[in-house]
């Protein structure tokens, strides 16, 4: 592709991502703030599964989510860590996110090693009927890591996490993600659905079973996993996940653990 075409495509991608972020800032009804988290709310993380939280970090709060995974795929064993997501509540019902590069190291086999990309995103909760939480996220991955780990070029995406309390401690949640790869047109667009069914275990813990998929013009990927979260304080959490792939194009099995914390009333 000529350099001029690449520059135009890149400019269009970045402009679209920034436009989505700006739209999220002004689109939500101020009445939505009544149902958004505050400093008294318990920590709610995107970890450890594929399904992200439908709520944002409280205004003035900083949240760090960290974890490591062990995976086995096609005869290779490899570790990934630390998977770190930094979240800042920049306004009521709005947050700024950065995914810090994590390192994947092969223990054996042909699995490549290297760092993932930096991903910068903006998330906004949207007004919905009582009992339903819905948010919208727009982000952009920067080509800062290994192309063998994260692919080539800039990677914009949009995402819609949702959740609904069914009752008696049960809840359903999901995430719909649409990604673009301007430097790898054969992957455009890539659709990533995820859905989870969870159960509260008292006031400070919960478990869930989750399906995650990835669909593009290439062979789809499917995973099924179980996950658990234990909030031993209102702002600290330990988590785990364990699962396996449902087709040959996915990992054979995996296990992960993590720790997250939140600092409130910073501004």
pLDDT band of residue 219 (cuts 50, 70, 90) is: confident
Question: For residue 66, which of 218, 244, 259, 216 has the smallest C-alpha distance?
Answer: 259
Query: Over the chain, what is the mean pLDDT?
Result: 88
Cβ atoms within 10 Å, residue 148: 12
Q: Are 255 and 242 in contact (CB under 8 A)?
A: yes
Question: Which among 14-28, 61-75, 127-141 has the top mean pLDDT?
Answer: 61-75
pLDDT band of residue 185 (cuts 50, 70, 90) is: confident
Using the predicted structure, report yes or no on whether residue 4 has a pLDDT greater than 60. Answer: no
pLDDT digits (tens, 9 = 90+) for 153-177: 999 999 999 999 998 899 999 999 9
Three-class SS of the chain: CCHHHHHHHHHHHHHHHHHHHHHHHHHCCHHHHHHCCCCCCCCCCCCCCCCCCCCCCCCCCEEEEEEEEEEEECCEEEEEEEEEEEEEEEECCEEEEEEECCEEEECCCCCCCEECCEEEEEEEEECCCCCEEEEEEEEEEECCCCHHHHCCCCEEEEEEEEEEEEECCEEEEEEEEEECCCCCHHHCCEEEEEEEEEEECCCCEEEEEEEEEEECCCCCEEEEEEEEEEEEECCEEEEEEEEEECCCCCCCEEEEEEEEEEECCCC
pLDDT digits (tens, 9 = 90+) for 47-105: 999 999 999 999 999 999 999 999 999 889 999 989 999 999 999 999 999 999 999 99
Tell the burial category of 212 from Cβ atoms under 10 Å away from its Cβ (0-12, 13-18, 19+).
buried
Residue 34 is predicted with a pLDDT of 62
Name residue, tokens 């008294």: 40
Report, as an integer, the average pLDDT of 12-40. 59
pLDDT digits (tens, 9 = 90+) for 234-267: 999 999 999 999 998 899 999 999 999 999 999 8
Residue 161 is predicted with a pLDDT of 97
Output the pTM of the full model: 0.87
Report, as an integer, the average pLDDT of 100-122. 93
Using the predicted structure, report yes or no on whether residue 6 has a pLDDT greater than 70. Answer: no
Higher pLDDT, 188 or 34: 188
Question: For residue 247, which of 215, 205, 208 has the smallest C-alpha distance?
Answer: 215
Q: Walk me through the domains of the chain, giving residue ranges and CATH numbers.
A: 3-37+49-263 (2.40.160.40)
Using the predicted structure, report yes or no on whether residue 136 has a pLDDT greater than 90. Answer: yes
pLDDT band of residue 35 (cuts 50, 70, 90) is: confident
Instruction: Please state, in angstroms and rounded to a whole number, the distance separating the CA atoms of residues 19 and 213.
Output: 27
Q: How far is CA 12 from the centre of its chain?
A: 24
Q: Which of 16-20, 27-31, 114-118, 247-251 has the lowest mean pLDDT?
A: 27-31
Instruction: Please state, in angstroms and rounded to a whole number, the distance separating the CA atoms of residues 5 and 255.
Output: 42
Residue 218 is predicted with a pLDDT of 79
Residue 19 is predicted with a pLDDT of 53
């Amino acid at each position: 592709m000529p350099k001029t075409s690449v520059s135009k495509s890149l400019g269009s991608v970045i402009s679209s991502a920034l436009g989505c972020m700006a739209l999220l800032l002004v689109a939500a009804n101020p009445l939505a703030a009544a149902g958004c988290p505050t400093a008294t709310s318990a920590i709610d993380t995107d970890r450890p599964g594929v399904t992200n939280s439908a709520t944002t970090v409280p205004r003035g709060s900083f949240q760090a989510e960290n974890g490591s995974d062990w995976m086995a795929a096609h005869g290779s064993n490899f570790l990934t860590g630390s998977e770190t997501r930094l979240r800042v509540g920049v306004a009521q019902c709005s947050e700024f996110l950065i995914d810090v590069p994590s390192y994947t190291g092969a223990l054996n086999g042909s699995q490549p090693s290297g760092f993932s990309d930096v991903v910068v995103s903006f998330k906004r909760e949207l007004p919905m009927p009582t009992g339903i939480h819905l948010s919208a996220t727009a982000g952009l991955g920067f080509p800062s890591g290994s192309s063998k780990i994260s692919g080539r070029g800039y990677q914009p995406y949009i995402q819609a996490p949702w959740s609904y309390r069914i009752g008696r401690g049960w809840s359903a949640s999901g995430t719909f993600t649409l990604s673009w790869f301007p430097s790898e047109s054969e992957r455009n667009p890539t659709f990533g659905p995820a859905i989870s069914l969870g159960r509260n275990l008292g006031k400070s813990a919960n478990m869930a079973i989750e399906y995650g998929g990835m669909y593009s013009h290439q062979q789809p990927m499917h995973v099924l996993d179980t996950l658990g979260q234990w909030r031993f304080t209102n702002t600290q959490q330990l988590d785990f996940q364990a699962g396996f792939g449902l087709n040959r194009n996915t990992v054979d099995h995996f296990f992960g653990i993590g720790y997250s914390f939140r600092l409130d009333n910073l501004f």
